[in-house]
Structure 1
Amino acid sequence: MTNDKRRRFSSPVVDGIGKSPGRAMLRAVGFTDEDFKKPQVGIASTWSMLTPCNMHIDQLAREAGAGADDAGGKSVIFNTITVSDGIANGTEGMKYSLVSREVIADSIETAAGCEGFDGIVAIGGCDKNMPGCIMGMARLNRPSVFVYGGTIRPGANHTDIISVFEAVGAHAKGDMSLIEVKQIEETAIPGPGSCGGMYTANTMASAIEAMGMSLPGSSAQDAVSQSKVDDCRAAGAAVMNLLEKDIKPTDIMTRSAFENAITVVIALGGSTNAVLHLLAMAHTVDVELTLDDFVRVGKRVPVLADLRPSGHYMMSELVAIGGIQPLMKTLLEAGLLHGDCLTVTGKTLAENLADVSGYPDDQQIIRALDQPIKKDSHLRILYGNLAPTGAVAKITGKEGTWFTGTARVFHSEEEAQERILDGTVTAGDVLVIRYEGPRGGPGMREMLSPTSAIMGRGLGSEVALITDGRFSGGSHGFVVGHITPEAADGGPIALVEDGDKITIDAEENLITIDLSDEELERRLDNWQPPEPRYRRGVLAKFARTVSSASEGAVTDKD
C-alpha cells in the first residue's frame, strides 16, 4: 500500500519534518516517527458512566484500537457523548434523548473531519448511539465500521428495565408492594450492556448488521464476553481492509441495504424507533427512503422472533442460539434479502452467510417462516385525517388490530402519567398526548412511562395511546406515535378535544377522527400555536432546525 493510498484525507500531520507543527502535538500523545507513515484510524468511543449500556465501552475502544494497530494502522481514540433513556424517561430530561443522536453524529463528523482520519471505528451502546455513529461516519464517507457494545444479561427472575417501569404501574393498581418493586429495581440491571429485549438498542444494532455496516455477529453478543472483545479487534483490522479496497459507507449503505435492514427489523419484531432512525440514516447518504417503503417491505415479511417486549425471550437468549445470522440466512434463502449487497467484510451479504448453520432444533425463540407470529409487519404506517403525512404503530396482533374509543387529551407526558396512575384513565379511552413532537416537545420524548403504567394497571388491551411523540422499544400495547404533522405545526392532533371518537385500524392502516373536514377547518381557524418552550441552547436549536418525524427528524435537511 503506497503512502498516497494510505493517507487519503490530508491530515495536518502527513507532511514531513519542518512542514507540520502538528506532529509535535501527536508526539505528546505517543506517536513515533513510524506512526506518522501509517493510516490513522479514529476510534469513536461513547464510553460514559451515565448508563450501564456504555460503562464498558472504554475497554472495547482500546481493543478496537489494538486491532487497527496490529493491522498496520495507527489508532486514535476519542470520545463522544451518550445519554441514558432509561434514567431520563418520564422526565423533562428525556427531551434531550433524540437530540443526542444529532450531537453524536455532529461530534464524530467534527472530530474525524478536523483530524483527517483515514478510517473510523465507532462503538455505541445506548439507543441513539447506533444511528448517531452511523450518521457521523456516513457524512464523512471514509472507510468505517460500527461496533455494538452488546446486550446486558437478564436480571433476577428474568427481569429487565421494562420490568421496573411496569412494576410502577402494578404498584399503582395495588397488585405489587413497594418491597416487591424495590426487589425488582435492585436486581433487574445486573451489569454492563444495553437493555435486554428487542428494544431500540438491539433493534438498531441488528439493522446495522443487516445493512452491512458492522461485522457478522456484532449485533448479537453479550456486552461482557470474549466474543465482543474479538469483535472489536476484528473491527479495527476490518477498517484497514476497507482502506486497502477503498470501500466507503456509500458503497455499503445502498437502497437495497436499507431494505435488508427493514426486513430484519420486522422479522425480529423490532422497535418503532427503527423507522425514525433508518429514515435519518438514509437521508445522510442521499438514499431515497420513505414511510411507504416500510409498508411495501412489510407486506411480504413476517414477524418470526418471540422477543420482549411483546414476546417472552431476551436478547441474551437469542445470542445463545446463534444470534441473527441464522435468521438472516433463512430470509436470504426465502428471497427476502438482497444477497448482493456489499458489507464491511469486503464481501457480499450472501458470501458472509454462506457457511452459517441453522438454529438448534429445540429452540423456541425464532419461528419457522411457515409458522410466523404474525404473517406481515408489526410496524404499521397509518394515514388518515388525524395523520395526513403518516404515523407509526407497533401492532403485533396480540392487542388486536382495531380500536375505537373516546379521546382523553393531554398536553404533556407527565399530565397523562398522573391520570393513568390515579385511575382517571379507564377502559375505552384513547389517550392523546400532544405537543411532544420533535419541534413541539421539543425533542420527541418516548412515552415509556405512560405505556408501562397502562400495562401495569392491566389496561393494555382496553386503552389506546396516540402521540406526536415516540415510543421506547420497550413499549407495547395499542400505541401509535410519530403522528404528523405534529401538534406544534398545527397538525390535526392539535385539534382533538375530549370526547371525540378516534378509530385505529391496523388492517387498513388508518387512523381517523370522526369529524368532518369543515369541523377540522373551523377548529384550525381558532387554534393558536404555542409559545416555544425553549428559546436558548441545544433544545431551542433543535426545535428551529428539525424536520418532521416522517422525514427522520433530521437537523440538516435542505
Structure 2
Amino acid sequence: MAFKRADWPRRLRSQEWFGGTGRDQIYHRSWMRNQGLPADLFDGRPVIGICNTWSELTPCNAHLRDLAQRVKHGIYEAGGLPVEFPVFSPGESSLRPTAMMFRNLCALDVEEALRANPVDGVVLMVGCDKSTPALLMGAASVDIPAVVVTGGPMLNGKWRGQEVGSGTALWQMSEMVKAGEITPDDFLEAEQSMSRSPGSCNTMGTASSMACMAEALGMALSGNAAIPAVDSRRRVVAHLTGRRIVEMVKEDLKPSDVLTRQAFENAIRTNGAIGGSTNAVVHLLAIAGRVGVALSLDDWDRLGRDVPTIVDLMPSGRFLMEEFFYAGGLPVVLRSLLEGGLLHGAALTVSGRSLAEEVAGARNWNEEVIRPVDKALTAHGGIAVLRGNLTPLGAVIKPSAATPELMVHRGKAVVFEDIDDYRRRIEDESLEVDETCILVMKNCGPRGYPGMAEVGNMGLPPKVLRKGIKDMVRISDARMSGTAYGTVVLHAAPEAAVGGPLAIVREGDMIELDVPARRLHLDVPQEEIERRLAAWTPPAPAPESGYARLFHQHVLGADQGVDFDFLRGRRGNAVPRESH
C-alpha cells in the first residue's frame, strides 16, 4: 500500500517566502521572476530544489547538468517549480589532501542551503564517492522530502581484449610495473582505456557501493544504482524522480520516515552481498548519526557476518557495473536477500511503497554476475570488525577482497610512521621485509593525515613483488579505495594521532591477525604497551587553513563515522527569520 499521511493542499514551507501580497513576499517573487518565471508558479505549488554536485573538477559528476534538466522536466510535469543550485563537489580523483576531508564541508553546505532557501523538497544529484553520503547527511539533518539521483557508472574499460576496471586496474598495473610484468609504456597505453565515458568508477568501488546503499536504504527509486551514466535509462530515472519528489512533498514523506533502523540494517546486509566498499562503514555511521539512529561497528559485524557475497564484481570478483546492470542490478540482489530472510521487506522507500513491493518483479538475467546463494563468491561476506589490544575501538577488513590464506596470520611488523615515511622507504632494497611480515602505517586517520586518506592499501615492496607475491597483511588507521583489494586492515581506532595503541607499534613487534575470531593483537606485554603509551607524544600539527582547523578540532573517530561532533542529529527545517 502506498504511503499516505499528509492532507493536500496545505501551506508549504516555500510560502513563507512567496505566499502573500506583503512587501517581503513581493520582494522574493519579483527577484525570482527576473529569470522569466510566470506568476502562477508561485501560487502554492511545491518548490523543489535540485541540489547539484556537478563540477568539471569532479569528472565523475561532470555530466550531472544534463541529468538535472531531466529532473526538471519531471518536476514541471508533476506541477512543481524546480530550482537548481550548486553545492561543494568533493571530487575523489583530484581533491587534496583527500576528498574525505571535505565530505563534512559538503554536508554542511547542503544542510544550510536547504534550511535557508525556499524549497519544499529536494533532489540530490550525486555520483563521486563522497557526494552521496554528504548530500544524504545534509538532507537528513534538515529533514525535508528528499530523493537521490545517481550519475551512474562509466562504461567498461577495454584494453588488449581485457576488461579494465577503473581504479582496480590502476592498483594492479602499478604493482605489475614494479614487478617487471608490464612496462611503463604498457601502463600509459592502458590509461587511455580506463575511463572511456562519463560516470563514476565501473567497479564496485565506493561510488557504486554508495549508489547501492542509497537504493537499499530506500532513498532512491528502484533500479537507480547500476544504470550506466550514458544509458538513456539513466535519464528516464532522473525524469521519473522529478515527478516523484513533487508527490513526496504532497505526502510529506521525509528522510526520517525512510531512514529507520530497519533501513540501515538492510543497507549493511546489502553491502555484504554486493562486496561493497569498506568506505560504506564510515558513511552509513555518519548518515545514521544525522537522522538519530543508533548504529555501531558491532552492528556492521553482526549483521554482515553471515551474508553471502553474490555479486561477482571487481575488486572482489570478475565483472564490472555494466554486467551488473544487464543482469538486473540491485533489485535482483535485494529480492534474493529478501527470499533468504535477510532483509526487512516492510521498510519504506521514497516510492511510497515497501522494499518488498519494489523488488517483487526483479529477475536475474545472468547468474554468473549475480550468483545464486549456493554458488556465492564468498559464503561469509560483509565487513569484519576486528578488536584487540591494537584496536580497542575496532578496525575493519573486507573478507571478500582478501587472500583466504592470510585471514589467520602472525607476522613481524614493518612500521612506517606516516605516509611520507612509507613513500621514502618502501622501494628501498635494504628494507628488512618479506612476505610473512605485516606492513603497519600510522598517522593516516581522520586527524592524522588529516582527513583519513585512501592510502591503507599500501603497495607492496618491489623485492616482494618480484618473488611473485601479490598480497601481504597491511594495517593502518587510513581508508582504502573501494576499488582496491587485498588483506588490508583499515580504520584502526583510536587512531595513532590521538594516542591509540597503533601509535606505539615498533619495528619487529609481532602482530596476530585472526579474522574468523575477529581478533587483532599486538603481541607485546601489557606493561610494555602502557609504558610506551605513557611516553608517547602527539605528532606536531600540520599548518592548518580555517577549515582544516575546524576539521581537526571537531572530527570524530572512524568508529563514529568521521562526522563533526556538532553536526550529529537533526536540526530540522524551521524557516529562518526574515531579514528585510
Shorter chain as denominator, the TM-score bin is over 0.9
Further displaced range: 398-407 or 74-83:
398-407
Deviates more, 1:439-448 or 1:488-497: 439-448
1:107 CA displacement: 1.2
Match of 2:120 in 1: 118
Superposition RMSD in Å: 2.0
| Sequence identity percentage | 36
What is the alpha-carbon distance in structure 2 between the residues aligned to residue 380 and residue 348 of structure 1?
29
Taking the aligned partners of 1:459 and 1:5, their CA distance within structure 2 comes to: 68
Matches within 5 A, 1:74-93: 74-87=81-94, 93=96
| Aligned counterpart for 1:503 among listed residues 490, 508, 512 | 512
User: How many angstroms does 1:442 deviate by?
Assistant: 1.1
CA contact (8 A) 1:169 1:453 kept: no
Which position in structure 1 is the counterpart of 2:280? 274
Question: Mind listing any 5+ residue stretches in structure 2 that lack a counterpart?
Answer: 1-5, 569-580
Q: Distance in 2 between matches of 1:449 and 1:382?
A: 17
Q: Work out whether residues 150 and 221 of structure 1, in 8 Å CA contact, stay in contact via their aligned partners in 2.
A: yes
Question: 1:384 matched to which residue of 2?
Answer: 388
Q: Distance in 1 between matches of 2:344 and 2:57?
A: 38
| Whole-angstrom CA distance in 2 between matches of 1:284 and 1:459 | 46
Paired amino acid for 1:381: V
Q: Does 1:41 align with 2:48?
A: yes
**Partners of 1:291 and 1:550 within 8 A in 2:** yes
Question: What code does the residue aligned with 1:534 have?
Answer: P
Code of the residue aligned with 1:405 in structure 2: it is G
Would the aligned equivalents of 1:13 and 1:36 in 2 still touch at CA under 8 Å?
Answer: yes
Kindly provide the amino acid, as one letter, of the partner of residue 396 in structure 2: V
Structure 2 CA distance for aligned equivalents of residues 462 and 23 of structure 1? 62
Give the equivalent residue in structure 1 for 2:445: 437
1:5 is aligned to 2:14: no
Match of 2:101 among 96, 99, 102: 99
Cα distance, 1:438–1:83 mapped onto 2, change above 3 Å: same
Greater shift after overlay, 532-541 or 52-61? 532-541
Extract unaligned runs of 5+ from structure 1. Answer: none
How far apart are 1:418 and its partner, in Å? 4.4
Conservation of the 8 A alpha-carbon contact between 2:444 and 2:453: yes
Give the corresponding residue for 2:571.
none
Deviation at 1:378, TM superposition (A): 3.9
Q: 2:493 is paired with a residue of what secondary structure?
A: coil
Matched, 1:468 2:471: no
Of 7-16 and 526-535, deviating more is: 7-16
Match in the other structure for 1:175 = 181
Amino acid at match of 2:107: A
Q: Deviations over 1:173-228 (max 9, x none)?
A: 22211210110112211021111111001001101101100000000100011111
Q: Secondary structure at the match of 1:278?
A: helix
SS at match of 1:85: coil
Matches within 5 A, 1:88-487: 93-95=96-98, 97-157=99-159, 158-159=163-164, 160-356=166-362, 358-360=363-365, 363-396=367-400, 398-400=403-405, 401-423=407-429, 424=431, 425-447=433-455, 450-451=458-459, 462-487=471-496
Q: In the alignment, is the contact (CA less than 8 A) between 1:165 and 1:452 conserved in 2?
A: no
Q: Are 2:414 and 2:437, in contact at CA under 8 Å, matched by a contact in 1?
A: yes
Say whether residues 1:492 and 2:516 are aligned partners. Answer: no
Match of 1:60 among 45, 59, 67: 67
User: Per-residue deviation at 1:458?
Assistant: 7.2
CA contact (8 A) 1:451 1:475 kept: no
Most deviating of 276-285 and 395-404: 395-404
Between the aligned partners of 2:129 and 2:510, the Cα distance in structure 1 is 35
State the match for 1:50 in structure 2: 57
Name the CA shift for 1:371/1:226 in 2 (closer, same or farther; >3 Å).
same
Residue of structure 1 equivalent to 2:565? 556
For 2:23, give the aligned amino acid. Answer: G
Q: Which amino acid in 1 is paired with 2:38?
A: T
Q: Measure how far apart 1:69 and its partner are.
A: 1.4
**1:63 maps to amino acid:** R
Checking the alignment, whether the CA contact within 8 Å between 1:121 and 1:144 is kept in structure 2 is yes
Secondary structure at 2:458's aligned position in 1? helix
What is the one-letter code of the residue matched to 2:60? Answer: C
Shift of 1:452: 7.9
Deviations 1:277-334 (A, max 9, x none): 0000000000000011111112331111111012111011101111111111111111
Task: State the 1:419 CA deviation.
Answer: 3.3
Q: What's the CA shift string for 1:481-523, capped at 9, x where partnerless? A: 1100111111000000001001111110011110111000000
How many residue pairs get aligned? The number is: 551
Q: For 1:112, give the aligned amino acid.
A: L
Q: How do 1:509-548 and structure 2 match up within 5 A?
A: 509-548=518-557
CA distance in 1, matches of 2:101, 2:140: 18
Give 2:155's aligned amino acid. R
Letter in 1 for 2:332: P
Q: Distance in 2 between matches of 1:105 and 1:553?
A: 12
Contact 1:130 1:204 in 2 (8 A): yes
Q: Which whole-Å CA distance do the structure 1 matches of 2:106 and 2:460 have between them?
A: 28
Point out the more displaced range, 8-17 or 249-258. Answer: 8-17
Taking the aligned partners of 1:388 and 1:332, their CA distance within structure 2 comes to 34
Q: CA deviation at 1:164?
A: 2.4
When residues 541 and 453 of structure 1 are mapped into structure 2, their CA distance, relative to the original with a 3 A threshold, is: farther
Secondary structure of the residue aligned to 2:147 is strand
CA contact 1:11–1:117 (8 Å) conserved in 2: no
Aligned residues of 1:427 and 1:459 also touching (Cα < 8 A): no
Determine if contact 1:451/1:477 at 8 Å carries over to the other structure: no
Q: Would the alpha carbon gap of residues 369 and 419 (structure 1) be closer, same or farther in structure 2, given more than 3 Å must change?
A: same
The structural deviation recorded for 1:465 is 1.0
Greater mean alpha carbon deviation, residues 414-423 or residues 18-27: 414-423
